[in-house]
Amino acid sequence: MNHKSDNAIFTRFQKKLKRERKIVFFWQLIIFISFFSLWEFASRMYIVDPLLFSSPVKIFRLLVDKFADGTIFAHLQVTLFETLLGFIIGTVMGIIIASILWSSLRFSKIMDPYLVIMNAMPKVALGPIIIVAIGPNYLSIIAMGAIVSVIITTLVIYSAFREVDPNYEKVLKSFGASRWQCFKEAIFPATLPTMISTLKVNVGLSWVGVIVGEFLVSSDGLGYLIIYGFQVFDFTLVMSSLILIAIFAAIMYKVVEKIEKILIKHST
């Protein structure tokens, strides 16, 4: 009897979750449609300047033309490649540096003020220096994407390492585990949710770094199209590039969410 009751409660709970997801999706769709409808209306009625802000219909037509003639694909490929590499390098370097800081308390104390200072520095302002140091090529743009995210990743993940319950480490040490074994078996797995959350933040940061890098030095990519659009006063091209950035950033975010669900499912 109790088993049937538990099943009924679980079924009701699942139905409630599905209903909640449908409600959330419905309102997200309403906001999406309303935003673009109001934008189109405001542009047609000259409430906003159609030269500066363009309109969804014009943007849609331009994107259809660009995809039809294939000219947009080269720019998309370049920016996606740079962003993904910058995202992966920045995240992996951040995790490695955070692990090194955790492994040595003295080293972490020495580096603490420098990490705070580096985090406070505007990474975008380092763009010209990076370009001069590395050269005006893809490497400097990828470096921008990585540098923007690496420090914040280091700080967040190192804080997560330190906040793990110390009793986990004490129990493992009582069985003769080394510090590396404690890290591998307790500290690292316990901070996986924080790492995934950091990945979500890094999605946006990597796009910012790469686009700014393309502003400074690039002959292709979505950042280049934005600058080119400003130069020739083609603001439809500018807005189209921004829309594409938003779409692909959202796709990356959703991919990270899927990874999060898989990791949580396998860790439980």
Q: What is the pLDDT of residues 100-155, one digit of tens each?
A: 998 888 888 888 888 888 888 877 777 788 888 888 888 888 888 888 889 889 98
Tokens linked to 29 = 């769709």
Residue 3 has a pLDDT of 60
CA distance 75 to 222: 6
The answer to whether residue 189 scores a pLDDT higher than 60 is: yes
Q: What's the mean pLDDT in 146-167?
A: 88
Summarised one tens digit per residue, pLDDT across range 10-33 is 678 788 888 888 999 999 999 999
User: Which has more confidence, 101 or 192?
Assistant: 101
Q: Considering only CA atoms, which of 225, 230, 265 is closest in space to residue 245? A: 225
Q: Considering only CA atoms, which of 192, 200, 201, 203 is closest in space to residue 87? A: 203
Percent of residues in the chain assigned helix, strand, coil, to nearest 5: 90, 0, 10
Q: Considering only CA atoms, which of 197, 176, 171 is closest in space to residue 186? A: 171
CA distance 268 to 262: 10
List, in order, residues 6 or more apart from 61 with CB less than 8 Å away: none
Q: What's the mean pLDDT in 198-217?
A: 87
The pTM of the whole model exceeds 0.85: no
